[in-house]
Amino acid sequence: MPHDHHHHVPADAGDARIAWAVGVNVALTVAQVVGGILSGSLALIADALHNLSDAVSLIIAFVARRIARRPADGRMNFGYGRAEAVAALVNFTTLVLIALYLVYEGLWRIARPEPVEGWLVIWVAGIALAVDLVTAALTWSMSKSSMNIRAAFLHNLADALGSVAVIVAGAAVVLWGWTWVDPAVTLLIAGYILWHVRAEIRPVIRHLMLGSPEGLDAEEVARAIEADPDVAGVHHLRLWSIGEHEPALDAHLVIAPGAWAHADAVKARIRADLGTRFGIRKMTLEIECSAHACATPQRIGG
């Protein structure tokens, strides 16, 4: 039985943190582009464009967070909460594309090694690491309760790890001239990103596909309902989540013979029990008399 306690950052404070994180990343991007133009360093400009992807992921997360707070209306009867899941999927997808690009670059560099300016790499990566750590600090607490912010946070985590790895690679070039460390580390970073996305993207897809919420099993909920002595059976049960932490339920309850006179009380009891045991607060329960229940009901879905 799930008992999740999520510590939510207030909406206004969360928006301010994301706005600061976006500002920091955009400022670094501009500084890197200017520095790249003045120094003639293509590496700096390339790193600036990579850092820009972090700012874009945060902007997507910020916009989705704002949209998700809109109330339900005639067009979106369930509200706009799933905007955050869509944003998370977009950001995870871009992470996969970045990882595949890193694999391509890493393999290309192994096949055709290029000279690396060790100290320049170390300084640029050091600055980028500092910015990534600031951004991660701004979004870390929110990432624990939001798949949307978690996806943006992983963008920064991947970049921070990349910056650490680049510093190590730059040091290896400066100390021992090991240029092969740079593409090798790149492949390790790409592998880590793909492994992490594989674990994090599953609940996002499950949420968008109206799957049962994490930690809740539809059959277990059905058995809990049927444990009531005044319930003869349950069918057409659907368990999904409206928002990331808002489980919802639809089901048909077959009231046991002799209990129809207090069927409404049975329904109220089931509603209270499911709320206490499983945290389900949003539900629609249709009651059926045992003598006139659905002839060939489907237990789950239908």
- Number of Cβ within a 10 Å radius of residue 235: 19
Long-range contacts of 42-47 (CB under 8 A, 24+ apart): 43/117, 43/120, 43/121, 43/124, 44/120, 44/124, 47/124, 47/125, 47/128
Give residue-wise pLDDT tens across range 228-278. 999 999 999 999 988 777 899 999 999 999 899 999 999 999 999 999 999
pLDDT at position 50: 62
Domains and CATH numbers, the chain: 11-208 (1.20.1510.10), 218-292 (3.30.70.1350)
Phi then psi for 163, rounded to 5 degrees? Answer: -65, -45
Model pLDDT, residue 3: 43
Which H or E element spans position 251? Answer: strand 247-255
pLDDT of residue 113: 65
CB 187 within 8 Å of CB 206: no
Percent of the chain with pLDDT over 90: 20
Q: What is the pLDDT of residue 12?
A: 56
> What is the per-residue pLDDT across 137-173, written as a single tens digit (0 to 9) for each?
777 767 676 776 777 777 677 767 767 776 777 787 7
Is residue 248 a contact partner of residue 282, using CB atoms and an 8 Å limit? yes
Do 57 and 93 touch, CB atoms closer than 8 A?
Answer: no
Question: Which residue would you say has higher pLDDT here, 179 or 263?
Answer: 263
Q: What is the mean pLDDT of residues 12-34?
A: 74
- In the structure, what pLDDT confidence band is assigned to residue 41 with cuts at 50, 70 and 90? very low
Task: State the chain's mean pLDDT as an integer.
Answer: 79
* pLDDT 10s digits, 73-118: 888 888 888 888 888 888 888 878 878 887 887 787 777 766 656 6
pLDDT band at 1 (very low <50, low <70, confident <90, very high): very low
Task: State the Cα–Cα distance between residues 163 and 51, nearest whole angstrom.
Answer: 11
The tokens of 295 are what?
């002839």
pLDDT of residue 162: 67
pLDDT at 13 over 60: no
Which of 45-54, 62-71, 132-141, 222-231 is predicted with the least confidence, judged by mean pLDDT? 45-54
For the chain, percent of residues with pLDDT exceeding 70: 82
pTM: 0.71
